[in-house]
A and B are shown apart, each in its own frame.
Chain A
Amino acid sequence: MQEGTPLQSRQINRELLVSILNSPKWFWMAVGILGLIVLFAMGTAGLMINKGMGVTGLNRPVMWGFFITNFVFWIGISHAGVMLSAILRLSKAEWRRPATRAAEILTVFSLMTAMMMPLIHTGRPWRLVYWIYTVPFVPYDYARGIWPNVRSPLVWDPSAVYTYLTSSILFVIIALIPDFAVLRDRTTGISNKIYGMLAMGWQGNPRQWKLQIIAGVLLSALILPVFVSVHSIVSWDFGMAVSVKSWHSTIFAPYFVVGAVHSGVSAVAFVLIILRYIYGWQNYIRHEHIDALARLLIVVATGWFYFLVMEIVFGFYGREADEIAVRNLQFMITPWNIWMMIFVGVTYFLPVAIWLSRSARRNLWIMSLACISVNVGMWLERFLIIVPGLARKQLLTFDWYTYTPSAVEWIIVGATFAMVSMLMLVIARVVPLIPLYDIKEGEILRTEIKIGRVSVPATFRED
């Protein structure tokens, strides 16, 4: 399925490089405002470090709250990038072309943001410095011969996240080389030098292109298993614990992964809509692309819903009193039960109802609403997994407690959204968020097949 009119290379360059070569006037203002929000949150984090964790709502037994929820949420968002670009590259879906780069870059920034959350959550982030001076530049902590415990999921987690982060950054950079060459040819002075360095002398001969194409597929195939492992391991941060009822569920790994894909793909769709709006990329991010994303999302959402049902059914299945206590809190006790209803409604029923209608899928306002709704829901999902489990962790009822986030937590969590937006804006200033060569390739490969009186859009395929 292809819509829209054929485009010329020159036009593609001009329109897609607009964010870099003719940055809009509001750019610095927007970055400035977002930057101020981030600065304010950094100050708040400073206050928290200075005063101690007492300024948060964390307590015994609810020791994990907003920060960890937000950590899981951003890890989830990061799953869009590679899942989209890898799966769509491997399945040779034509409509992937405008979506891959933005998705991959969103992956990188949301991963970085996610990794900040546990550091803030530890309350003593300067311990990070030990990593640097135990062995220079080897990020492995073995001060005084005490090695990290390999048997702990809290060691698996960074190993997975850093693998994913490194791979995603490298993936983005490799795919950027041909586009850096375009920028090299269009800039002067210092930017020309920098883009020239980054393009590494790219000429665009058949050998280079051949490897670029293979790289896309091969790296997709290699990163896909990493991507699955990352959120699985994040889920095992919870799932390995026997003591917290409702966490120790075998389905957690795929449940988290599918949930992450659900929220991540929604986030990518939302980012694409925003990009289309602010940079006028109507010719590139077309309704068909958002439509295709929405149809993919119906499948993802329904898969996720199945895992959710399994998780809940087998939560009750054991009929163990301590697990029932957690489920009782989740489903029966206000306000948790209200949050639970909102969560299921806005994560599944509302968006899927929207996506089932073709006209709604092609209305960008309604699509934005659906995508935001999914992400509100997925944030709540993590919150409703983490906090009720901990609130009912103890065997004896007088040890049960609840959790109310403090202003400090709200500010820091809120600012992470500003930070990712700011980073996306800044990166749009220096690299094209839609891969130029991929769009151009799509243009040269498109053709038509005549069947009787109709002509069906078609594409040339190498295999």
Chain B
Amino acid sequence: MAKAPILGLFETADNAADAGDALKAAGVPQTDYDFLTDTPYPEGAFGERHEGHRLYIFPFVGALIGLTVGVMLTSMTSMAYPLVQGGKPIMSLPPMAVVTYESTMLTAIIFTIIGIIFESRLPAFKQGLYDTRITEGYIGVLANVEEDQLTSTQTLLTQAGAIDVVRNSGGPGA
């Protein structure tokens, strides 16, 4: 059976955490519900699942690529136009190090940016259920439950103190 999203809005973080506990008790797997907030709460504040990520790989890969590009650019352009200036060798390592350093850092940073976006699972233009009140300070508890459990989940969220519960109006798949 298909799963459908349901979003409860809470005024206080404690109520939202209660809702999370209730969902967990009701047997909803931790990967199927999320807490939507307008500000970063400390990790584990809602008793939410632990999120792993591999962001730290990105800058290293980027740095490696940048290093290669930097070494190639500096050495090959030096050789392609071998004009001695100021008595310095054609292949002068200290200046090459400067440019290579910049290219390394640049690519590392660009890869980190890509990594952040990718690991945040963005862009996500086909956004799921959402409510603009979340950016007003309400805390959303977004659950993906079996369609026949929607009503019971709605009750559960309301009991935890939700001031409003939002469901997709368009039926399954909407």
Contacts and interface: CB of A to CB of B under 8 A. Distances in A.
- A touches B (Cβ under 8 A): yes
B123 A200 contact: yes
A8 B135 CA distance: 11
A223 B99 CA distance: 16
B40 A151 contact: no
A10 B136 CA distance: 5
Given A150-B77, A156-B95, A211 B41 contact: no
A177 B122 contact: yes
Contacts of B40: 209-210, 212-213, 437, 441
B48 A206 contact: yes
Interface stretch (A163-171, A345-353, A383-391, A419-427): A163-171
Contact of B53 (A210, A436, A443): A210
Given A150-B77, A211-B55, A229 B102 contact: yes
B86 interface: yes
Contacts of A206: 34-35, 41, 43, 46, 48-49, 51
Given A156-B95, A167-B106, A218-B55, A182 B135 contact: yes
Interface string B109-147: 110110011011111111110101011110010100000
Contacts of B128: 203
B163 interface: no
Contacts of B127: 201, 203
B43 A163 contact: no
B39 interface: yes
Nearest to A219: B112
B152 interface: no
Given A210-B51, A222-B59, A229 B77 contact: no
B124 A211 contact: no
B6 interface: no
Given A150-B95, A182-B38, A200-B125, A174 B106 contact: no
Contact of A185 (B34, B98, B132): B132
Given A148-B77, A203-B128, A181 B135 contact: yes
A299 interface: no
A116 B167 CA distance: 53
B83 interface: yes
B29 to A, nearest CB: 15
Interface in B24-56: 34-43, 46, 48-49, 51, 53, 55-56
A240 to B, nearest CB: 9
B78 interface: yes
B127 to A, nearest CB: 5
Contact of A444 (B36, B41, B86, B142): B41
Contact of B80 (A147, A160, A171, A209): A147
A214 B55 CA distance: 9
B66 to A, nearest CB: 10
A462 B41 CA distance: 10
B81 A219 contact: no
B81 A218 contact: no
Interface in A394-438: 436-437
A256 B39 CA distance: 38
Nearest to A12: B137
Interface string B52-78: 010110010000000000000010011
A186 B133 CA distance: 10
Nearest to A441: B39
A170 B109 contact: yes
Contact of A150 (B35, B53, B99, B106): B99
Contacts of B130: 203
B108 interface: yes
Interface string B1-40: 0000000000001000000000000000000001111111
A143 B137 CA distance: 57
A204 B134 contact: yes
Nearest to A226: B105
B123 A201 contact: yes
A211 B112 contact: no
B96 interface: yes
Contacts of A222: 59, 105, 108-109, 112
17 contacts: A9-B135, A149-B83, A150-B77, A151-B92, A163-B109, A185-B132, A185-B135, A201-B122, A201-B124, A202-B124, A203-B36, A203-B127, A207-B121, A210-B53, A211-B53, A229-B105, A443-B39
Interface of A: 8-10, 13, 142, 145-152, 155-156, 159-160, 162-163, 166-167, 170-171, 174, 177-178, 181-182, 185-186, 196, 200-215, 218-219, 222-223, 225-226, 229, 233, 436-437, 440-441, 443-445, 460, 462
Given A201-B124, A213-B40, 6 more contacts: A147-B78, A163-B105, A163-B106, A200-B123, A210-B40, A210-B53
Interface of B: 13, 34-43, 46, 48-49, 51, 53, 55-56, 59, 74, 77-78, 80-81, 83, 85-86, 88, 92, 95-96, 98-99, 101-103, 105-106, 108-110, 112-113, 116-117, 119-128, 130, 132, 134-137, 140, 142
